[in-house]
Structure 1
């Protein structure tokens, strides 16, 4: 399908060259389509970018939910760990797509009601809400300390997750199993009573 080819090629080129350095003429050439074909499927180059961001968001949500379904964590701490693991694995598999979020997205939106900003905010909100529910459930079932503020803790864990992804993206650290294991061990120790 031409639309999918355009999106895959755009993701690759935007990740390699950056959004601003990828003219639609090059995108058309690399995708093997006429430039007019691009605009039959997308209103603008920005529309392509927004579609890529929304696709990342939708796939991330789907992958986390599938992982939780298969893993079937027994305690709320295990659910938090599963969310961290599935996010980490997703980002590792989709580094090119996250390049769009960390490098190009900040230059693509300027207003808080911009579609790109809102799509990225949905990723953060989704992760935060999933963690918040797990932490509240954990306080009820006794697997999470009751002396922590669950709203602040959910935000903190999302911050850790996003921070690690950013440091990996900028190649400050290598995405190793030890890094993931240490994050999980520390978060688990913090949460357990």
Structure 2
């Protein structure tokens, strides 16, 4: 592993665990074993380290989604949506620190003023939203999914997943024990026909 990658892995862990404001360059230096001068040789400032860590996370996450969703064939659209849910849970375990970067408040604060950060976060979220939406479209055609609006339903399902896993990332509530309940809730949403919905 290169020194720069080692710095990014250390920074990812510290930003995900302590947040942006509570992570200093000296802490990244201590954790990675790289001198502060070496860190500044590779990165302009702490924000640049954060953005590079976020971009690294984006690459890892998108590669997993491509491998486990986009490059696979599914028998039904419902099976595809279930696979997206499985992948999101898998990533929360395998790449927990990388996903935790997305759940820290600094990511959203920075995204509101930094286009590169906003684009990175949107790209990560859109890879999941697009896969769910595509699964819904396929499922409506093959009959495995009811008459639901693909884009809106994808946002609802992903919002539920993302919100629950944020609880997990913040150690508020252990959501992995709810996996089958979440899967059943998503199946009910996807099976819904308009006349069954009571608002």
- With normalisation by structure 2, the TM-score equals 0.85
Does the alignment pair 1:58 with 2:83?
no
Residues 65-74 or 90-99, more deviating: 65-74
Q: Aligned to 2:110, which of 108, 111, 119?
A: 108
- With normalisation by structure 1, the TM-score equals 0.87
The 5-angstrom pairing of residues 1-193 of structure 1 reads 1-68=2-69, 72-103=73-104, 104-111=106-113, 114-146=115-147, 148-176=148-176, 178-192=177-191
Gaps of 5+ in 1: none
Q: 1:106 to 1:37 in 2, by over 3 A?
A: same
CA distance in 2, matches of 1:9, 1:2: 11
Aligned positions, number: 190
Q: 1:173 to 1:58 in 2, by over 3 A?
A: same
Q: CA deviation at 1:108?
A: 2.9
CA distance in 2, matches of 1:34, 1:190: 52
CA distance in 1, matches of 2:70, 2:134: 16
Q: CA deviation at 1:157?
A: 1.0
CA distance in 2, matches of 1:189, 1:106: 31
- 1:89 alignment partner, SS class: helix
- For the 8 Å contact 1:77–1:192, the answer to whether it is kept is no
CA distance in 1, matches of 2:9, 2:75: 38
Provide the alpha-carbon RMSD of the alignment.
2.1
Q: CA deviation at 1:106?
A: 2.6
Q: CA deviation at 1:102?
A: 1.6
Q: CA deviation at 1:69?
A: 6.7
Q: CA deviation at 1:16?
A: 3.2
